[in-house]
Amino acid sequence: MTREEQLLGAMVDAVDTLVDDFDLIDFLHQLCERCNELLDVSAVGVMLADPAGGLQLIAASDEHARLLELFALQADQGPCVECHRTGTSRFNISLKSPEETAAFPLFAERALQAGFATTHALPMRLRQKVVGAMNLFDSREQKLSDADARVAQALAAVATIAILQHRTVVHGNIERAQLRAALSSRIVIEQAKGILAERWQSTLDEAFDALRQHARSHRQTLAGLCKQLIDGSIDSSAIQRP
Last residue of a domain, one of 170, 192, 216: 170
- As for how many domains the chain has, the answer is 2
Query: Strands across the sheet with 129-138, in order?
Result: 55-60, 43-49, 129-138, 118-126, 90-94
CATH number of the domain encompassing residue 210:
1.10.10
Distance in angstroms (rounded) separating the CA atoms of residues 191 and 121:
28
Model confidence over 101-120: pLDDT tens digits?
A: 999 999 999 999 999 999 99
Asked if the structure places residue 77 within a domain, the reply is yes
Exposure string over 56-91, b if 16+ CB within 10 A, otherwise e: bbbbbbbbbbbbbbebbbeeebbbbbbbbeeeebbb
Instruction: Residue 202: give the domain boundaries.
Output: 184-238
Q: Average of pLDDT values for 48-70?
A: 90
- pTM of the shown model: 0.74
Question: 162 with 106, same domain?
Answer: yes
Model confidence over 165-176: pLDDT tens digits?
A: 766 665 555 566
Region of residue 130 (phi > 0: left; psi between -120 and 50: alpha; otherwise: beta) = beta
CA nearest neighbour of 122 among 163, 175, 158, 96 = 158
Asked if the structure places residue 146 within a domain, the reply is yes
CATH number of the domain encompassing residue 162:
3.30.450.40
Question: 156 with 190, same domain?
Answer: no
